Amino acid sequence: MAKAHSFSYQIGKKIDTAKVQKKMGGKLIGSVLESRIDEIKVHVFPSGRIRLTAQDKEYSELQQMIFNNTVGIISFIEELIKAAGVNTDAKTVMKTGKQDDAYDYDQSVIGEETRIPAGVMQMITISLYQFAGQFQASRTMTQAGEKEGRRLVKEKKPKNKKELLKLVKKFLEENSFGKMEEVKEEKRRLVDVILRVTSCAFASGAPNINEAICDFTRGVIRGAFAEFKGAETVSVKETRCWAKGDAYCEFEVYSLAA
């Protein structure tokens, strides 16, 4: 798993960073509060995350700096909890400290109404396939999608397959990745579920480059199913795609014998 050069604590509660800035000082950049503890740069996110970074330093150096500044970090967290008026204590927050995963992005910084235009998504996707090649592009997109699919199931904990499908559908639709429906009329051998996606942000209206390119969506479905089943024997194939000349994208989910 790829690791980032930053370290985070979680307050576990949402934070009004503007309110905190008025009491504690620091710089408000958009919705992020920036402060400093010695040479360590501190970012407080509206989600309640406290991120420590050190510019142009290796992670091992940051670790050393964190160790040397333990007292300063504790008092910063204590002051922050007080300013934000949240019900927790510094000891609990300190226990959540961990090195960031490279995929640990924080959506609270972007805001929920943000949308990437589908044209931009498609340009990025098709360029990736053309320049990195099918194999690398596919791995890149699948990995990103799988992360999202797994996160979704871990967070929402669907109880059955119906809830799982509803969750994936909602995720794709709310993020404008596409509209999803289960195809039930044709039963194909060994296929667990058939999912059809229209208005696909990655491919709808794309030219035919004779490749199925919606590996992000494929990854979301695979990650969600694998996490739900607690098994890695799930395989998802994109059998139809706009970029293969179809007018919709279609995914077949296989659950191989566990």
Taking contact as CB under 5 A, which single stretch among the options 121-129, 171-179, 200-208, 222-230 is the one that binds Zn ion? 200-208
Within 81-120, the residues that bind Zn ion by CB under 5 A are none
Tell me which of 241, 248, 250, 253 binds Zn ion, using CB under 5 A: 241
Taking contact as CB under 5 A, which single stretch among the options 3-11, 66-74, 201-209, 223-231 is the one that binds Zn ion? 201-209
Taking contact as CB under 5 A, which single stretch among the options 69-77, 82-90, 133-141, 199-207 is the one that binds Zn ion? 199-207
Q: How many residues bind Zn ion (CB under 5 A)?
A: 4
If the CB atoms of residues 167 and 214 are measured against Zn ion, the closer one turns out to be 214
Q: How many Å apart are CA 146 and CA 132, to the nearest integer?
A: 20
Whole-Å CA distances, 112 to 17, 121, 146: 17, 18, 21
> Does 167 interact with Zn ion (rule: CB under 5 A)?
no
Least distance from Zn ion to the Cβ atom of residue 212, Å: 6
Least distance from Zn ion to the Cβ atom of residue 97, Å: 41
Tell me which of 32, 126, 165, 214 binds Zn ion, using CB under 5 A: 214
> Does 203 interact with Zn ion (rule: CB under 5 A)?
yes
> Does 40 interact with Zn ion (rule: CB under 5 A)?
no
If the CB atoms of residues 90 and 249 are measured against Zn ion, the closer one turns out to be 249
Residues of this chain that interact with Zn ion (CB under 5 A) are 203, 214, 241, 249
